[in-house]
Amino acid sequence: MGDKGARSRELCRKFCVYYKPGKNEDLSCLGFLVAEALFAKRGYPVFSQGAGRAADDEELLVETVCLRCPFHPGDCDYILKEGDAPPCGGFLALSALLRTETVTMDEIRDVLDRVF
């Protein structure tokens, strides 16, 4: 894994409660892949302390990203437990970026349409 990949996985270590280093590193949820594609385009962002979920954006992120994720609906606790389990790190990173207005939902949709 190159520097870019290592930095992207830093996102998983930092945000994802489901991430297990060395296990299934080839399997990526769509939240992570979208975040990685955004970082490739605009550089790895600095996440502020306490960057977290933007409740207002969660429903839209589920509609925009989760419904197209390969882990939806059978393998994602967040979806299976209808929000009573945390989302993946990619989802949380995207939520933090939306909350801080670092990215817009339109940019996320654009990445999805272009790359996936």
Binding site for ligand SF4 (CB under 6 A): 29-31, 65-66, 69, 71-72, 76, 78-79, 87-88, 90-91
The overall longest dimension of the chain from CA atoms, in Å, is 35
Closer to ligand SF4 by CB, 3 or 81: give it.
81
Least Å from the CB of residue 47 to ligand SF4: 17
- Angle, nearest 10°, between helix axes 3-15 and 89-99? 90
Closer to ligand SF4 by CB, 3 or 62: give it.
62
Least Å from the CB of residue 31 to ligand SF4: 3
Long-range contacts of residues 56-62, Cβ cutoff 8 Å, at least 24 apart = 57/95, 57/98, 57/99, 57/105, 58/83, 58/87, 58/95, 60/105, 61/31, 61/91, 61/94, 61/95, 61/98, 61/108
Closer to ligand SF4 by CB, 2 or 84: give it.
84
Least Å from the CB of residue 76 to ligand SF4: 3
Closer to ligand SF4 by CB, 3 or 82: give it.
82
